[in-house]
Amino acid sequence: MRAFDYDNMDEKLYDMEVVRLLTELHEYRGKQELYMESYTDVLEAMVRVAKIQSTGASNRIEGIYTSDKRLDKLVEEKIEPINRNEEEIAGYREVLNTIHENYDYIVPKSNIILQLHRDLYMYNSGTVGGSFKNVDNIIEEKNEFGEKKVRFVPVPAYLTKDTMKLMCNQFVGSISKEKIDPLLLIPVFILDFLCVHPFNDGNGRMSRLLTLLLLYQNRYIVGKYISIEMLIEKTKDSYYETLQLSSTGWHDNTNDYKAFIKYYLGVLLAAYREFSSRVDTLRNQGLTKSERVRHVFETKIGKISKSDISKLCPDISVTTIEKALSKLLKEDFIIKVGGGRSTAYILMLPELKK
């Protein structure tokens, strides 16, 4: 059986890049408490936006879709799911809510992970959730011609229960000792979870939910306000590439976690930078709402859509944003590009003015 020696992680993991990432993330964690105390009302609006984005992105990575309109209503519990995709989206919402509200009381033991997986499928018929896999599975990838290739062979079904119990116990014991930085332990645990691939279905989504749970428990709360799942979706090629690199040799205990660790730390840092950027926008609360919309264009580069502004300023209504955009267009402060769903706006540069 695979060994899980989390207490004695290889010192070679601490190269200059990893140390730089850890240092910057520690600094951001120190700032987040101040942010959370200073902008309570607006941050609550950011939580609502992030929940929708996280639920949508994590499911889309696995090919589970619904319309944006129905996604919003499903996450806000305003409608009931009408098909399998929406049942799985609603299940993700439930587990995400559980983690948001109870993360301090959820110990990541194998039996608890089983319960979370059960709830992931609470809207599905049958007995999909809450049990470890009963058949061996493989992780495949398709090339551009549709040809399949085996990327990784996980732990066989008959060893899954014991492996999960050992892995979780070792992780809980190690992280409680506070000897190893949790920002190193967490991605290592997540990669191990993905290599075990303990369920017939839902492994990817469970890994992202566990990521949030473990980060929250170690006071890295940024995922409540900025969707880490969306950042993973945007960089999923790198995600799969680093997963492949760091899982090679896993069964023989010879794999190198470094690539996957760097990817995860980079995603978390991107979330904190985005969070900081949005807080900078919130610091302009002395401005009117129209002035804050103008400020977005003054501080962001490239095309900006109405939805982008709504995410940055979740307390400003769509109607107010539209009025502000109309005013800025009349003033030649911005110009409109694209049309329909692709409509966006860019700052009018001086050299473009006649």
Which tens digits make up the pLDDT trace of 154-202? 999 999 999 999 999 999 999 999 999 999 999 999 999 999 999 999 9
pLDDT class of 350 with cuts at 50, 70, 90:
low
pLDDT digits (tens, 9 = 90+) for 26-52: 999 988 877 777 667 778 888 998 999
Confidence band for 287, pLDDT divided at 50, 70 and 90 = confident
Domains of the chain, start order: 6-281 (1.10.3290.10), 285-352 (1.10.10.10)
| Residue bearing the bigger pLDDT, 86 or 316 | 86
Tell me the CA end-to-end span of the chain in Å, nearest whole number: 72
Q: Tell me the per-residue pLDDT of 113-130, one tens digit each, with 9 for 90 and over.
A: 999 999 999 999 877 899
DSSP 67-81: -HHHHHHHHTTSS--
**pLDDT digit string, tens, across residues 60-89:** 999 999 999 999 999 999 999 999 999 999
329 and 56 Cβ atoms separated by less than 8 Å: no
CA 167 to chain centre: 23
Global pTM value: 0.84
Residue 88 and residue 120 in contact, taking contact as beta carbons nearer than 8 Å: yes
> Helices H, strands E: what count in the chain?
14, 4
pLDDT single digits (tens) 200-213: 999 999 999 999 99
Kindly report the CA angle at 180 between 24 and 132, in degrees rounded to 5?
A: 105
Lowest mean pLDDT among 106-110, 232-236, 340-344: 340-344
pLDDT confidence of residue 283: 63
